[in-house]
A and B are shown apart, each in its own frame.
Chain A
Amino acid sequence: MNTLTIIWIALPFFVGFVGYLVPKVDRYLALAMTLVSASYAARVLMESTPLIVELMDNFGVTLQIDSLSGYFILTNALVTAAVICYCWGTGKSAFFYTQTIILHGSVNAVFICADFISLYVALEVIGIAAFLLVSYPRTNRAIWVALRYLFISNTAMLFYLVGAVLVYQANNSFAFTGLAKAPPEALALIFLGLLTKGGIFVSGLWLPLTHSESETPVSAILSGVVVKTGVFPLARMALMVEEVAPVITLLGIGTAFLGISLALFEQDTKRLLAQSTISQLGFILAAPAVGGFYALTHGLVKATLFLTAGALPSRDFQELHKQPIPRSLWLVLVMASCSISGIPLWAGFASKALTLKSLLPWQMLALNIATVGTVATFAKFIFLPHQSDSQSIRPGYWVAVLLLLGGLLAANGAYYQAYTVANIGKALAKVAIGWLVYWLVIRRVVLKLPRVQEQLEHLIGGMSLMLVLLFWMVLA
């Protein structure tokens, strides 16, 4: 299993460069790579004991592969495969597939590492690959959005590096477990880096613009898996080091509220999806022990929604209300929205039940309110007017959507115990309240929230405020 892991982690980079040198086979190689990852994830999920690989003497450079990693790797494999299928007939160059698969590989690397330095390297490679994917259309706007992303992520990672060396100073090791003995400023700095990279809480305000202005497949991959590279290390730290768990749960609940309150009043489809991503990341962090399953369902749903939103005739909800959308696309939207709202039959229901089960009562109440908000937000998609299809949609899109939705149905099997009468009743009650809120309030109110906080300078300045806040949270 050790050798298998090393080969699997190195393979994407090799495959990526081969695909670039031999452009004829790039798509096939990329798709094969995602299959390898998916089967590796299945293997990990079946194993009961976590696998730990020590890479160097005693400096704490370790890989740790457990069921949490398994779920995240599976998400990554499925979403990347769907995106490659979606791009199949669109004439993307070999460069695009190379970057996609390198991104895939570095995201996998994040999901198995358990020390600060491998994490740093993997996150920086992700930053570079994501930059190249966002700027792929080569228009000025795309370049600016990508540049902004790289600015923010690199500044955050510099803070993270300072935190990492403080942990090393305290423990002579870079392992995550050293966080228990590290000084509070180290924790604050590392958290700042990861929160910004993962788009969580106030540090995540860069996310709506980047995810909504990227091309459709790129935003699917960014929202589906790439943001989870900030969430995964936080979840793992919360599981390994007891002292930081309350801080992370609190941040998770704050994020769930922040994201949903932004999304409720959004009039742009892609921005709404990006803001709901922020809120869903909060759900993952609120219960890190079961966060893997939630990440899987969210990744699949969000990729489906982004791919579908890209095929709609307009991005503005006002326009969409005047102009009916094709019925087949509407059906996909309804299925995905049902899953994210937690309606039984879809895996979103099981993952929400699992997350809520492992929380304290007041946290459960908070997340239930956030769930109602999610239902009301996605009611905007469910109640769009629709008509029979006029133009046909590319087959690549259907393959991708079938893969993602099939994954969502199959994922129910991971926690079928959720299907009790009480759980189903609660879920349906939340849906009813959410839809009521939508018809009574959201549908009638047009509120334009200011976007000042999304300017580059404010985002970077916000990091210093967030740092102070985190410092106090860790001290308290």
Chain B
Amino acid sequence: MLEAFIFATILCGFFGIILKQNLMMKIIAMDVMSTGVIAYYVKISARQGLFTPIFSKTNHGAYADPVPQAVILTAIVIGFSIQALMLVGVMKLSRDNPTLESREIEKTYTP
């Protein structure tokens, strides 16, 4: 069930990138897609248990798998820096193309 929602998020983001005309919306759609991917990592790490894996004397039972979480932390940081970079690019483009319509921009700047 949860998995279905996660894949729906990823697909929503993917179709958003294709169907949205505005460059800004495309970037937001990409963010939605990466949110879906991150959620999938969290889902997979929680398949054996839900307890936060913190070292202590008492055993709480089924711990969540820390490895995918550690990995996705890196991916989140990378993802957000790429978003920031893209937004800067879009800001620069918006000076001459205030509507940020991707088809118009593509037509103007493709030889």
Contact = CB atoms under 8 A, between A and B. Distances in A.
Contacts of A168: 44, 67-68
Contact of A145 (B68, B75, B79, B109): B109
Interface stretch (A116-124, A224-232, A345-353): A116-124
Contacts of B41: 161, 165
A460 interface: yes
A135 B92 CA distance: 11
B71 interface: yes
Contact of B14 (A124, A132, A144, A464): A464
A265 B78 CA distance: 40
A152 to B, nearest CB: 10
A460 B17 contact: yes
B25 interface: no
Interface size of A as a range: 35 or more
B83 to A, nearest CB: 9
Interface string A454-474: 111100110010000000000
B93 A143 contact: yes
A154 B79 CA distance: 8
Contacts of B108: 140
B34 A117 contact: no
Contact of B33 (A117, A132, A155, A451): A155
A97 B51 CA distance: 47
B89 A124 contact: no
A320 interface: no
Nearest to A145: B109
B4 interface: no
Nearest to A212: B111
A146 B79 CA distance: 17
A257 interface: no
Nearest to B82: A154
Interface in B62-92: 67-68, 71, 74-75, 78-79, 81-82, 85-86, 89-90, 92
B2 to A, nearest CB: 15
Main secondary structure of the interface of B (DSSP, over half): helix
B78 to A, nearest CB: 5
A256 B100 CA distance: 37
Contacts of A141: 109
B109 A151 contact: no
A121 B40 contact: no
B93 to A, nearest CB: 6
B67 A128 contact: no
B37 interface: yes
A59 B45 CA distance: 14
A158 B26 contact: no
B18 A165 contact: no
Interface residues of B, number: 38
A42 to B, nearest CB: 32
Contact of B10 (A125, A151, A162): A162
Contacts of B33: 155, 158
A124 B75 CA distance: 9
Nearest to B110: A209
Contacts, number: 90
A458 to B, nearest CB: 9
Given A140-B96, A456-B106, A146 B89 contact: yes
Contacts of B110: 209, 451, 454
Contact of B93 (A117, A144, A455, A461): A144
B44 A165 contact: yes
Given A131-B85, A461-B18, A165 B68 contact: yes
Contacts of A124: 78, 82
Most chain B CB neighbours (cut-off 10 Å) among A124, A158, A456: A158
Given A117-B71, A121-B74, A155-B17, A144 B82 contact: no
A143 B17 contact: no
B86 A143 contact: no
A144 B89 CA distance: 8
A150 B30 CA distance: 11
B105 interface: yes
A318 interface: no
Contacts of A147: 23, 86, 89-90, 93
B89 A158 contact: no
Nearest to A169: B44
Contacts of A457: 18, 102
Contact of A151 (B17, B44, B71): B17
B30 A154 contact: yes
A135 B110 CA distance: 15
A105 interface: no
Contacts of A456: 102, 106
B37 A150 contact: no
22 contacts: A59-B67, A117-B74, A128-B82, A128-B85, A138-B92, A140-B92, A141-B109, A144-B106, A145-B109, A147-B23, A147-B93, A150-B85, A151-B17, A155-B30, A162-B40, A168-B44, A168-B67, A169-B44, A209-B110, A455-B106, A456-B102, A457-B102
Interface of B: 10, 14, 17-18, 23, 26, 30, 33-34, 37, 40-41, 44, 47, 67-68, 71, 74-75, 78-79, 81-82, 85-86, 89-90, 92-93, 96-97, 102, 105-106, 108-111
